[in-house]
């Protein structure tokens, strides 16, 4: 399997996130990608650079004004004399108007962003676009006939909606990859999200669609981020009704329950009979993850890969979360080698 990697990811660095009432260095840090790169090279994957793609590939799933905001946000920040990192200081919550896009940068931040953990720095857009291009390149490899490909995306993407960002995510790399597969020969695509956190952005993007099913196994939003999405009764809407499946699990979930739930998710996918699958691959389900509460061990990640392989489908792996940095590379590589065996 090929791995797609861009060193531009490191341009997204230097921000802080609000965590339990304190501004702390971001858990989503550049060294994550360094560990993953090293581990997938050791595992024998061939590492290639992303190809460039037209911005239209991104605009198929994201709102144009939102993408313009992401591209120009830091310039607007500098124009008001600021530097460093950008976080919003007010949100369009219930009872606030949703139809007004504020002209100023501080208002815009609160309009498009939904948490205080996802700073933008000067190099963020360069990294975000390169990350999307990694996902698109992996999707193109699979659309052109490879059995599978791995996109080493950083920043991650699955919390980014059509016109919203948060959860360390800006553009939804997995959704962009799924849409690319739809446009290049796959009539039905599934995004299976095994990150610890619910893939609310991916769900949002495909909520009303029957041609892309979203399936997510994650920590219950009753206690876990993103708190307001990811419940089992969310099933999609309109034409998309019945094409969204959520499997929330309680804190403390270990391999036995996780594995049985993943089997249920895979059964739903088999029933749908897609032409291809995109895996939102987070390894924050790991027992030593600093912000998560499942108890999977290193030995379980090859088993996840092997289970995904039983679908027998063209598969695009897209990197999402995982914050136990010393072990993140091993855990990711273990999923990929477990898939290939």
Contacted by 117, from Zn ion, ligand SP5, none: CB < 5 to 8 Å by type: ligand SP5
Give the up-direction half-sphere exposure of residue 32: CA atoms within 13 A in the CB hemisphere: 26
Indicate the burial class of 48 (C-beta count within 10 angstroms; 0-12, 13-18, 19 or more): middle
291 binds ligand SP5 (CB under 6 A): yes
Report how far residue 51's alpha carbon sits from residue 45's, in angstroms, rounded to the nearest whole number: 18
Residue 197 is among the residues annotated as catalytic for this protein: no
284 binds Zn ion (CB under 5 A): yes
Report how far residue 157's alpha carbon sits from residue 317's, in angstroms, rounded to the nearest whole number: 12
Q: In this chain, which stretch among 42-50, 83-91, 197-205, 255-263 interacts with Zn ion, using CB under 5 A?
A: 197-205
The residue (of 166 and 305) whose beta carbon lies closer to Zn ion is 166
**Least distance in Å: CB of 165 to ligand SP5?**
11
CA nearest to 277, candidates 213, 340, 339: 213
By CB under 6 A, name the one of 88, 314, 321, 338 that touches ligand SP5: 321
**Least distance in Å: CB of 223 to ligand SP5?**
7
289 binds ligand SP5 (CB under 6 A): no
The residue (of 48 and 291) whose beta carbon lies closer to ligand SP5 is 291
Residue 337's contacts (CB-CB under 8 Å, 6 or more residues apart) are: 43, 302, 305
Q: How far is CA 150 from CA 19, 40, 43, 76, 327, in A?
A: 30, 10, 13, 34, 18
Q: Which residue is nearest to ligand SP5 (CB)?
A: 321
x/- contact string, 160-199, with ligand SP5 (CB under 6 A)?
Answer: -------xxx-------------------------x-x--
**Bridge partners of 77?**
none
x/- contact string, 128-167, with ligand SP5 (CB under 6 A)?
Answer: ----------------------------x--x-------x
335 binds ligand SP5 (CB under 6 A): no
φ, ψ of residue 190 to 5 degrees: the values are -115, 140
Catalytic residue numbers read 159
């Amino acid at each position: 399997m090929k791995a797609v990697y861009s060193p531009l990811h490191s341009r997204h660095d230097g921000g802080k996130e609000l965590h339990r009432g304190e501004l702390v260095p971001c858990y989503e840090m550049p060294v994550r990608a360094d560990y993953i790169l090293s581990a997938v090279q050791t595992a024998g994957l061939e590492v290639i650079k992303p190809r460039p793609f037209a911005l239209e590939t991104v605009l198929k799933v994201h709102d144009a004004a939102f993408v313009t905001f992401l591209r120009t946000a830091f310039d607007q920040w500098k124009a008001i004399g600021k530097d460093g990192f950008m976080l919003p200081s007010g949100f369009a919550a219930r009872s606030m108007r949703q139809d007004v896009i504020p002209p100023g940068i501080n208002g815009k931040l609160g309009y498009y962003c939904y948490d205080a953990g996802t700073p933008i720095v000067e190099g963020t857009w360069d990294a975000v676009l390169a990350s999307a291009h990694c996902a698109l390149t992996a999707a193109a490899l699979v659309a052109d006939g490879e059995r599978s490909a791995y996109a080493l995306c950083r920043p991650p993407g699955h919390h980014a909606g059509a016109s919203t960002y948060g959860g360390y995510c800006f553009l939804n790399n997995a959704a962009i990859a799924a849409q690319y597969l739809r446009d290049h020969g796959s009539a039905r695509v599934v995004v299976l999200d095994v990150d610890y956190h619910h893939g609310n952005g991916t769900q949002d993007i495909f909520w009303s669609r029957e041609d892309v099913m979203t399936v997510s196994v994650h920590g219950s939003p009753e206690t876990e981020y993103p708190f307001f999405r990811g419940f089992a009764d969310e099933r999609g809407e309109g034409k998309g009704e019945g094409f969204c499946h959520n499997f929330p699990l309680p804190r403390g979930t270990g391999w036995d329950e996780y594995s049985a739930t993943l089997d249920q998710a895979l059964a739903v996918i088999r029933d749908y009979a897609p032409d291809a699958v995109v895996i939102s691959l987070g390894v924050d389900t790991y027992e030593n993850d600093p912000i998560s509460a499942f108890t999977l061990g290193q030995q379980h990640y090859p088993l996840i890969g092997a289970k995904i392989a039983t679908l027998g489908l063209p598969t695009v792996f897209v990197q999402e979360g995982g914050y136990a940095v010393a072990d993140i590379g091993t855990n990711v590589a273990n999923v990929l080698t477990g898939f290939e065996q």
